[in-house]
Chains A and B, each alone.
Chain A
Amino acid sequence: MADGEIQNTAFWQGNTALAHGALAAGCNFFGGYPITPSTEIAETMAEELPKTGGKFIQMEDEIAGLACVLGASIAGAKALTATSGPGFSLKQENLGFAYLAEIPAVVVDVMRGGPSTGLPTRAAQQDIMQARWGTHGDYAPICYAPSSVQECYDLAIKAFNMAERFRQPVLIMSDEIVGHMREKITKTEPDKLKLIERVRPTCEPEEFTPYEADPMTSVPPMASFGDGYLWHVTGLMTNDWGFPTGNPPEVEKKILRIINKVTRARNDIVEYEAEHMDGAGIVVVSYGSVARSALRAVRDARKKGIPVGHFRPITIWPFPDAELVKMSLGVKTILVPELNCGQISLEVERAIRGRSEVRGLSLVNGKLFKPSDILKVIEEVA
């Protein structure tokens, strides 16, 4: 039993819980590079993976960390890497490879303050738009933002399921507070786990067309190197045969398919939590560690008789825009506290289209929001 564990409960920090969630999901490969404040994920995997027969490797840099994870996934592994802002920047190149070549993997960014080396030991949410648009080209990311230690564990399992189901990288945007805070969590019993595995080809190897998608899902079955199928993986635009192509109809088909496979299943992916929304004239939208302060502020405001609700996107991408709009009809003001200069507040503005006033609250000094900071603004706009 690992440190801090009693039967199926544990008292862990978010990073440790995330690593254990990945293991519960069947993760059997980790490649990465040390970086604060994510390192405990790598350290936990270094200790736990060999016990299960899995492999851990500390690579020479962040780029190689994701590259070896993708290599292992192509050979059939369920693979994880974890990093923080500077490393997430370096991983963008190979993230793009994984979107185009459709390689499942889970990538964690425990966000810290930036730009550059910035504030290595302080929390931030400044990489949220990098998760959406960080690598060049068009693609449809799936990205979760945990706000508790329990959620680090649960979302790690979910992220692997989504990576396998959609054959693409899935991002977990944690932050320094969630990563290092300690809470009691309940682990899922192995027989209660609902795990999804990538769809594998069932045809004869000579009939295998590596990028011919199932029309029902837009996801092509994926063979693993070594299991009898010969195929070509490339970061070039390809036709269904994996043959590099510049032919406009084939290019368009491919790029639209890798986006549509996610957007057509949007309702299966999008998750959020809404609380105290009854009769709310003000809604606070927050995610990750900020949601903890925001929810407390909302509860305090309700006690004072202010009708305010809280909406927490659990999937940041795809953003729960339709759900937010539906729940905020008639709402006067939407407050968006964030540890950045207004990244998701722009997304909220896009969703709301002027139907409510959207007001961003930015905190970028390395501190976390106190509930009283948010409560003060709620009282101002009430």
Chain B
Amino acid sequence: MPGGKVLSWLRTRFMPHIWCSGCGHGIVMHALLRALIGLNKDKTRTVLASGIGCSSRLAGYVNACTLHTTHGRSLAFATGVKLHKPELTVIDIMGDGDCSAIGGNHFIHACRRNIDITAIVMNNNIYGMTGGQSSPTTPVGAWATTTPYGAVDQPFDLCKLAEGAGASYVARTTIANPRQVETFIMNGIQKKGFAVIEVVTHCHTQYGRKNDRRLPFDNYNCFKEASVPLTKARDMPPEELEGKLVCGEFVNKEVLEYTEQYDKVIEKAQAALKE
């Protein structure tokens, strides 16, 4: 059960939540709240933006400044919040479809711009809320209601996508390792720049039911077995990494942050006025 401090960050008025029993999203929410508490964040100066889907409901359950936007657009809304008030801590919660299908353009540009927002992508490989349609992270061969003969298109590697697009912090872990979820979220929030934390989670209701992971525990066990720490994965041949979930911090680098860069634009424009 969550402790008192965590409870104070929850809008119990908004509950019961909509997530299925055993859903991984609650594990991510708990880890996020522990991270925010661990960093002594102030609720009135913490913004949680989200898009559409099961993942997006997380924002409403947290007692902070919360912004449940349109599908895929949360990063663009969050960019406006952060640019206008850079002093706020801005977290963006997305699902895999939200982030990499309808919101793919906003995602790569938020990475490129390197604005100080922490993006948490809850990747469950499926559109859960709408009943189990395939997403850009559904594995080849997997069943979904829109891939009744098995998915044939190649999935995204969200971490490689974020790295390629220029994010300054990129990490992956799974809900089978809640402590690591918390640590990576803490590291991401502390990073001055755009941070992406992919948390592999599950939808046993829509994805697991038809892909041999019917029970929540089937999924936890699957993630535990498939997880390979990045340090170990570096020495493994590609064929051994087939089907594995490489977990760790892929990128942690210093890149000029957007709102700080824009402050320099203001300085420049105002200096020109004085001349």
Contacts and interface: CB of A to CB of B under 8 A. Distances in A.
A50 to B, nearest CB: 4
A60 B106 contact: yes
B133 to A, nearest CB: 20
Interface stretch (B44-52, B142-150, B208-216): B44-52
Given A50-B265, A50-B266, A230-B64, A67 B73 contact: yes
- Overall SS of chain A's interface: mixed
B122 to A, nearest CB: 18
Contacts of B64: 230
A225 B73 contact: no
Interface in A232-266: 232-236, 241, 243-244
B80 interface: yes
B60 A244 contact: yes
A227 B44 CA distance: 7
Interface stretch (A68-76, A192-200, A350-358): A68-76
A53 B64 CA distance: 27
A375 interface: no
B258 to A, nearest CB: 9
Contacts of A226: 44-45, 47, 65, 85, 87-88
A222 to B, nearest CB: 13
Contact of A230 (B43, B76, B269): B43
Interface in B258-274: 262, 265-266, 268-270, 272-273
Interface in A34-64: 47, 50-51, 53, 55, 57, 59-61, 63-64
Given A29-B84, A205-B44, A74 B14 contact: no
Interface residues of B, number: 43
Contacts of B79: 31, 57, 59, 64, 67-68, 71
Contacts of B29: none
Given A93-B70, A226-B88, A71 B81 contact: yes
A28 B80 CA distance: 12
Contacts of B179: none
Contacts of B78: 71
A97 interface: yes
Contact of A64 (B87, B109, B273): B109
Contact of B44 (A29, A60, A79, A230): A230
Contact of B70 (A31, A67, A73, A75): A67
A234 B84 contact: no
Range of interface residues on chain A?
Answer: 35 or more
A231 interface: yes
A229 interface: yes
B45 A67 contact: no
B73 A61 contact: no
B66 interface: yes
Contacts of A29: 80, 83-84
B105 interface: yes
B68 A53 contact: no
A68 B269 contact: no
A178 interface: no
A77 B109 CA distance: 22
Interface in B33-54: 43-45, 47, 49
26 contacts: A29-B80, A50-B265, A55-B84, A64-B79, A64-B109, A67-B69, A67-B106, A70-B77, A71-B67, A71-B78, A71-B80, A72-B80, A72-B81, A72-B83, A74-B81, A75-B88, A77-B80, A94-B73, A225-B65, A225-B81, A228-B44, A229-B65, A230-B65, A233-B68, A235-B69, A243-B13
